Chains A and B, each alone.
Chain A
């Protein structure tokens, strides 16, 4: 158990819908990262938050947004869903004591299926 929790574990929805994925980082970790894992694209970095502020963006679609709340949990919002958004979405956290070199602790992921 990494200490990172993600809910829900599975999500099945229809095209055009909006969903919210939730992540709680390990106790004491200020950084939260979101990644998408799909068969065709592999593991891709989406976005990084540190202590409530956005720090870096990767290949994140404009239909996707994220935020980190004062209690440090984070939410990833996916809207106008398309079939191609079906993937496993991981959240990871780190203490950010050594930017770049910190171990990131991964949650179990949320599997999103868009029908």
Chain B
């Protein structure tokens, strides 16, 4: 069965500092992996996705993630945090033979201090 674990329910960084949000997955077949962001009182917005084309995936707003099969990880990074990055971030996994349903991690709330 698919599952996703996000390490750290809350992460706090200073403005300009590196952002690192951790995600590990479990999947019996090559997975599709996603990072979504949720701003307060809004729906989820896709940041980036991995679909086996390239292991380093670049997304919107300067975020990127690297797929590491040996570590079953898909960590999200951004070199320099902005105040506007404060939000909740969700890692999700999908398997093609499951029709596209997303299995989400518990989420990581990112705070950015001035």
Contact = CB atoms under 8 A, between A and B. Distances in A.
Interface stretch (B11-19, B69-77, B95-103): B95-103
Contacts of A35: 102
A43 B43 contact: no
Contacts, number: 69
Contacts of A96: 100
Contacts of B96: 98-101
Interface string B18-45: 0000000000000010101000001111
The listed residue with most A CB atoms (<10 A of its CB), out of B44, B90, B97, B107, is: B44
Given A98-B51, A109-B43, A56 B101 contact: yes
A80 interface: no
A101 B51 CA distance: 6
Interface in A52-104: 55-56, 58, 90, 92, 94, 96, 98-104
Contacts of B95: 100
A2 B30 CA distance: 28
Interface residues of B, number: 25
A42 B46 CA distance: 18
A2 B45 CA distance: 8
Contacts of B45: 2, 106
Contact of A101 (B44, B94, B104): B94
B99 A55 contact: yes
B43 A56 contact: no
A58 B101 CA distance: 9
Interface in B29-69: 32, 34, 36, 42-46, 49, 51
Interface of A: 2, 4, 31, 33, 35, 42-45, 48, 50, 55-56, 58, 90, 92, 94, 96, 98-109
Interface of B: 32, 34, 36, 42-46, 49, 51, 90, 94-107
